[in-house]
Structure formats: structure tokens, C-alpha cells
Structure 1
């Protein structure tokens, strides 16, 4: 057997190993904790205008104007999002406190998939909006799920969190901001 034949037998294995290494590097980079620290250009500015369908009420549209008057937490989720499952029980416990309206923003899901997901895991949301095409998400600067925005009564974005929220995030980052809004700030 020649050296050339022996080397050609190893070529697919080497190619596979290189591809696996590239995939592993991509996964590690996507889990970078700095991803959650991405600044949002919306902080301190009015929330983008939108008019989106309500998941549970066929034909009903809700606009950003209709949500003003009380602060709300806008939580971006999708049935296709594995981290949303991790976040969901934490978000449910927070929503049960009724400190602030929690609005679900279902991103690019099929209607039936979104309904099935909420039926399976529970619906903590005061209202669930759907963005079937992802078009409104562009204005919000949303690039995936989960992402969460705190919007004050005047419609100003006060906080954004990228990635799944956990108890520490709620206690250390969200609640001080909610308390500030409750105090009129």
C-alpha cells in the first residue's frame, strides 16, 4: 500500500475532526456571558411602535399605544427556544407576584406551536402578542429568544436582558428597577 493511499484514508476523519472543532468553538462562543451584557440603543428611549396580533384572540390587534399607562415586562419567547424552557418557571413565579404586567412576545412561531407550548408549560402572561414574521422584532433590536424588556408607563424602555432570566437576575437587576418605577422614578 502506498503512502498516498494511506493518507487518503485518513482525509475524511481529519475533515470531520476539523468540522467538529469549528462547531464546538461556535457553541462555546454563543454561550459567552458577555452576550447578556449587550447594550440596547433603546434604553431611555420610547419603545418601538407596533401593532401585533393577540395569540388567544383571533382578529384582535394590540398596539404599543394601548400598553401605555402602566409599566410592563415584555418577554420574548418561542416554542423553538430551549433556553425559554429554562426561564419559564422563573418567569412564572415572577408573574404570580403581579408586581407588573408580564407581556409575552411570541417570536416567529406557528400559531398552533405557541398555543401547545403554553398549554404544556403554563401561561404566565397577562397578554401574548405574536410576531409571526419577526418584522416588529427588528425595531426592538431582538435577535433571538429569550430577551426581556422593562417598559415604563410612558412607554420608555428602562432595561433589557438577553438570555434566560434566573432568580438572581430578577432579584438583583429587575426588581430594583420595578421598585424605582413603583416609587415614581
Structure 2
């Protein structure tokens, strides 16, 4: 069950974050758009101190474990031309709990997707290959941390959690 919750969360983050639409044909990027350009790796799941959710805590542990093994579970590359490349290993996770504790080998396979994006203030609009458009609220901290609030992913299941991506 915990594996399914983690997979659902990370897959949702991937789906909402892996494609966008850049409607500006101008080659010049404004300051807010250029903040997002670069490669971002999922490095943490922040939870509100008041949230006591075992599934979110388990997902946080798995992400931390994989980061400790230099495994990049989800990676997004936002290009200045409005294109986005994503690399997502979530669907290939294998979580093993045994006498030795938690064992989560880094998946060797991944799903890759290309899409487009645009940013207006804190509103990231993503258009996937099927031309489905989603707009989510993001936070960029210190030009090195991208945060997607859980409420933007799934208001009922991820309230109080933030997917944290670090610029590489």
C-alpha cells in the first residue's frame, strides 16, 4: 500500500510537471522564466509538522534513501526555448522491506517525455504530448529550489506536503 501511495504521488508530480506550453514566440526570456531554466531533481518531500501521515512519511523516507545512493528518481530539464524533458523512474521502483530494513534499488529503467512549458508569475503551465494543459502553482526559493505544493497535486491526499526539486 505504501509503495502505491509513493508511486501515485511521484507519478502525479511527474505528470503535472513534465510538460508545458510556451506561448511567447520571443527568444528573450523574462527574469521569472529564466529562474526555471535548468535541470531539477526531486530531492525531498517536505511535510508540515502538524501532518501525521504514515504514507507521506514513508514516501519521504524512500526519497531520502534514494538520494543517499545518488539515485535521481525524477528529473526535469526546463529549456529556454520552452521545451521540457523529463526522466521519471517512479514506475520502475521496487521497494523491499525485510529483516535488514528498507531496500530500494535505484531503477535502471525510466519513462522519458518531451513537452512544453510557460511560466506566468508562480503559475507553471504544462502541455503534454497529448496537448493536455495543466497549470500549477510553484515556488522557487533562492534560485536553487523548486517547490510544488502537494495541494496542487492532490488536495485530499497531499495537503501539508511539498515536492522539493533541487537545481543541478
TM-score, scaled relative to structure 1:
0.27
Which structure shows the bigger proportion of residues in helix conformation? 1
Q: Which has the larger radius of gyration?
A: 1
TM-score (norm 2): 0.29
More strand by share: 2
